[in-house]
Chains A and B, each alone.
Chain A
């Protein structure tokens, strides 16, 4: 059994056996043989006082404009998405391009549980027990070339499955990107589950990105393409309103959205607001990535 622990996670626990078996079933349902399963790790990257949000909150209050702009639209309408089978196209500056099904993308890696804060740019937040794989492990097996400076992700474009795409509320398909060092950071996850269960459609099934120190819109959902590129990708919200949303989108209480404050946030389930932490509380782990950068300009 392989139990890896990254030094960036404040504390960690080993999951109990029943959780382990449930996960094994899930992995098997994705097409992984039992041999490929490694003991998962449960890591809490939030403080002990912070409660995990409920299943209902995490899966019933979402921004996923591909299914409508209301917070409850994704849960109501994401049933049209068909997440299995699924392939991800790997392209660009990479030694092993091609079409990957999820077993090929993740097979042999350990399915981890990470409890992270999630902070939306709209100033609400939650605490979510994600399940997934560190993006760095996936990137390593894809072997990007030295020209790869950024990673670009693309969401499925299919108005049949995603009826919200019939309206041009955003330029479809949804695109997001990370700098290579951000993508390789141990906190960055490709997520395929939540609460130890398969990721529901409304949360971005079957595979989405989670970058816990950035605003939620960086966490692109239902990914069909991963492209390694030399130039900074143009992410969708920036393309749509560049004075309001930037490429970096690091959680920053000192840089307000032009129309509302980012100094505080409301944790779902709480009535009062609480202060927002720099880098969403992960400054110790990630502030170094941005040393020397003016975060007011690079918002």
Chain B
């Protein structure tokens, strides 16, 4: 029964580009984790394109796309927030190094969400968007969340950490907790009557917060 072992060795060899050296974490991330994350992150977009081609987006495709991209932003933000407790749980330290990419996918879908709205609901008339932001509280809240995601995306490269200084950068990036809260409020506020789904999202978000708090406490506890 030595076949599985040989197979494992050859995978490790492929990752490390050599059959003798052990796999480094950087190689593992670059050659396996990141490609998988890119595939996963582009899957919602692929689904949208597939559904659009097959005319599977209801009789109001613009609304369907707005809803789908909005929910996708939230799901990805939930995953981003789960990375730290997941790292503590599993001990996989490399998870910390892919958080940025996951977060950027949330921003990508936020851009798509806003562009679809601007293009089809507002005909690229930016003054109308301004009016919406001022007059419609659910848009005000969504736009605030969007600005947070923009800020986090722009300040996400390592160079920005150095420029801002670690402490300030960290304080700024605490906003990552605020964005999904605002997103869920925006979600609930946009509904005509049935807020079951936003409540489920709120419950999941609450669960993630509790999980994070718990895992941080455990880490700080002596022993």
- Bound pair (A, B): yes
Residues of chain A at the chain B interface (Cβ within 8 Å): 53, 56-57, 60-61, 65, 69, 71-72, 122, 124, 169-170, 240-241, 256, 259-261, 266, 268-269, 271-273
* A263 nearest in chain B by CB position: B128
* B123 nearest in chain A by CB position: A272
B: interface residue count bin? 10 to 19
- The answer to whether A268 and B60 touch (CB under 8 A), given A259-B136, A259-B137, A259-B138, is yes
Please tell me if the beta carbons of B61 and A271 are within 8 angstroms of each other in the complex.
yes
The minimal Cβ–Cβ distance linking B200 to chain A, given in whole angstroms, is: 14
Q: Bound state CA distance, A53 and B59, in angstroms?
A: 10
* A70 nearest in chain B by CB position: B194
Please tell me if the beta carbons of A169 and B59 are within 8 angstroms of each other in the complex.
no
Task: Please pick, from B58, B62, B192, the residue contacting A122 in the complex, using a CB distance under 8 A.
Answer: B192
Please tell me if the beta carbons of A273 and B193 are within 8 angstroms of each other in the complex.
no
Q: Bound state CA distance, A240 and B192, in angstroms?
A: 11
Chain B positions 172 through 208: 1 when the CB is less than 8 Å from some CB of chain A, otherwise 0 = 0000000000000000011011100000000000000
Q: Bound state CA distance, A151 and B61, in angstroms?
A: 37
Please tell me if the beta carbons of B58 and A71 are within 8 angstroms of each other in the complex.
yes
| Known interface pairs A261-B136, A273-B123; 9 further A-B residue pairs with C-beta atoms within 8 A, sorted by A's residue number | A60-B58, A71-B59, A124-B60, A240-B193, A241-B193, A266-B60, A266-B120, A268-B60, A272-B123
Task: Please pick, from B58, B137, B189, the residue contacting A61 in the complex, using a CB distance under 8 A.
Answer: B58
Whether a CB of chain A sits under 8 angstroms from the CB of B17 is: no
Please tell me if the beta carbons of A271 and B120 are within 8 angstroms of each other in the complex.
yes
Interface residues in B106-160 (C-beta closer than 8 Å to A): 120-121, 123, 132, 135-138
Can you pick out 20 interface pairs between chain A and chain B where the beta carbons lie within 8 Å of each other? A56-B59, A60-B58, A61-B58, A65-B193, A65-B194, A69-B194, A122-B192, A124-B60, A240-B193, A256-B135, A259-B136, A259-B137, A259-B189, A266-B60, A266-B120, A271-B62, A271-B120, A272-B120, A272-B123, A273-B120
Whether a CB of chain A sits under 8 angstroms from the CB of B63 is: yes
Q: Bound state CA distance, A240 and B193, in angstroms?
A: 9
Please tell me if the beta carbons of B120 and A259 are within 8 angstroms of each other in the complex.
no
Cβ contacts under 8 Å, A65 to chain B: 193-194
Cβ contacts under 8 Å, B120 to chain A: 266, 271-273
